[in-house]
Amino acid sequence: MIKTARQQAIVQLLKSQQSVTTAALAAELAVSVETIRRDLNALQMQGKIIRRHGRARTLADGSEPFRARLKSHYADKADIARHALNWVEAGMTLALDASSTCFHLARQLPDIPLTVFTNSLPVCEVMARRQHSELICSGGRLARGERCYVNPALASLLKSLEIDLFIFSCEGIDGNGEMWDSTRHNAAFKSALLRRAQQSLLLIDKSKFYRASEASIGNLSQVTQMITDAPHP
pLDDT at 74: 62
- Residue 155 CB neighbour total at 10 angstroms: 12
pLDDT at 64: 43
pLDDT at 106: 96
How many whole angstroms separate alpha carbon 90 and alpha carbon 110?
A: 9
How many whole angstroms separate alpha carbon 62 and alpha carbon 98?
A: 20
pLDDT at 16: 81
pLDDT at 63: 37
How buried is 78 (Cβ within 10 angstroms: 0-12 exposed, 13-18 middle, 19+ buried)? middle
Residue 50: closest CA among 140, 151, 171: 171
At 203, the amino acid letter reads: L
Domains of the chain: 3-62 (1.10.10.10), 69-228 (3.40.50.1360)
Sign of CA dihedral 46, 169, 104, 50: positive
Q: What is the mean pLDDT of each run of 10 residues along the chain (233 residues)?
A: 85 80 89 90 70 65 49 74 93 96 94 97 96 96 92 93 96 92 92 96 91 90 93 63
pLDDT at 61: 40
